[in-house]
Structure formats: structure tokens, C-alpha cells
């Protein structure tokens, strides 16, 4: 574990496609922490309840928003108890009624910010998500961006632009800003 790191948890927030998983794994390695992805925890919870596997996109699509939010709230509670960990939240996690920043204790919240045009291209390249209107995905994205970006900015202790940087550079900048850099 990185002895210089003043936090026991680093929580990454931001939109789908902002690089939370990629940067999160690098941060975990750099800090000597483990890595948790809320989406993976949701999938595990679903498997435990249903005895079958399904990815988060499939869960949301098949069972709807309310069921998904219940699984996510449980995953958030479990993640908040973990120590020496980098946690990648789902894009909508901070809007979940089960989310409470204070539940994470001594944690640094890092907003991986990406310019809207770049972010939209990254998201649709992976396929239009089920929470976008299929007939007007750009309009859906804009509404979601306008709703979530201010929430992310308000919650964040650190804001890191990840629009055009290599993930390694973003990781180094975050470590420097959190006071956990070895350099």
C-alpha cells in the first residue's frame, strides 16, 4: 500500500465512457489498493438473487430502472465498507437515493470529466444505452449530461479532465492531487 496516500478509498465518478474502469485499475495499482467496479457488484448481486448471469445493460433492459436501482443501492452499501480500495461508480450512482457520500467515510471523490462531444461519441460507439431514447439519443444524452455534470462537480474533491489524455497521465495527475504520488 502507498503510505503517502491520505485516503482509504478513492471513488471515481463520471459518465459511462469517461474512463473510470481504465483509470481506476491504474490508480489501484499505483496506490497499492484493490479495485471495485459497482457494475460488477451489481452483476454479482443479480447472480446471487437469480442464479443466472446477466450484465448491467441486460439487467436494466429486462427488469427496469427500479430493480436496477435496488441492486445498485446494495452494491453501494457494500463498496462503502471496503478499505484501501479504488471504487468505480456507475454513471448514475450519485443520483441513486441509496447513495450517500458520507457513507464512504475518509474517501476522495474524483470526477473524471470528459468534454460532452467526446463523451457522446464514446458512449454510442459501445451501443445506445437502454436509458437513452433510441429515436433521439443525442437529445437524451444532453438532458442526462445537463442533469449529472453539476452533481458530479459538486460531489468531487478532485476534477480530472480525461478528454484527450492517456489513462496513465490522468492517473499520475490524480495521485499528485491526492497527495499519494511517490515523485
Please give the residue range of the domain that contains residue 115: 9-36+82-176
CATH number for the domain harbouring residue 141:
3.40.50.300
103 within domain boundaries: yes
Handedness of CA 125, 128, 131, 137 (dihedral sign): positive
98 vs 31, 39, 102, CA distance in Å? 28, 15, 12
DSSP per-residue string spanning 47-94: HHHHSS---HHHHHHHHHHHHHHHHHHHHHHHHHH-SSEEEE--TTGG
For the chain, the domain total comes to: 1
> Can you give the pLDDT at residue 112?
98
Residue 45, in any domain of the structure: no
Asked, for residue 20, whether it belongs to a domain, the answer is: yes
Q: Is residue 77 part of a domain?
A: no
What is the structure's pLDDT at 181?
63
111 belongs to a structural domain: yes
Task: Decide if 44 is inside a domain.
Answer: no
Q: Is position 47 within any domain? A: no
Whole-structure pTM value: 0.91
What does the DSSP assignment read for 136-181?
Answer: -HHHHHHHHHHHHHHHHHHH-SEEEE-SSS-HHHHHHHHHHHHT--
Is 128 inside a domain boundary? Answer: yes
The pLDDT assigned to 180 comes to 66
pLDDT under 70: residue ranges of the chain = 1-3, 180-183
Provide the pLDDT for residue 2. 62
Amino acid at each position: 500500500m502507498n503510505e503517502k496516500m491520505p485516503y482509504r478509498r478513492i471513488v471515481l465518478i463520471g459518465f459511462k465512457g469517461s474512463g473510470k474502469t481504465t483509470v481506476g485499475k491504474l490508480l489501484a495499482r499505483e496506490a497499492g489498493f484493490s479495485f471495485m467496479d459497482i457494475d460488477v457488484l451489481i452483476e454479482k448481486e443479480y447472480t446471487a438473487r437469480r442464479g443466472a448471469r446477466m450484465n448491467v445493460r441486460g439487467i436494466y433492459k429486462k427488469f427496469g430502472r427500479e430493480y436496477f436501482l435496488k441492486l445498485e443501492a446494495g452494491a453501494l452499501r457494500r463498496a462503502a465498507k471496503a478499505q484501501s480500495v479504488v471504487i468505480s461508480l456507475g454513471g448514475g450512482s450519485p443520483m441513486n437515493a441509496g447513495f450517500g457520500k458520507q457513507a464512504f467515510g475518509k474517501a476522495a471523490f474524483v470526477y473524471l470529466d470528459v468534454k460532452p462531444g467526446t463523451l457522446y461519441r464514446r458512449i454510442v460507439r459501445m451501443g445506445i444505452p437502454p436509458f437513452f431514447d433510441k429515436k433521439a439519443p443525442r437529445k437524451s444524452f444532453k438532458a442526462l449530461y445537463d442533469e449529472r455534470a453539476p452533481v458530479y462537480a459538486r460531489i468531487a474533491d478532485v476534477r480530472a479532465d480525461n478528454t484527450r489524455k492517456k489513462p496513465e497521465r490522468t492517473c499520475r495527475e490524480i495521485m499528485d492531487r491526492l497527495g499519494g504520488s511517490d515523485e
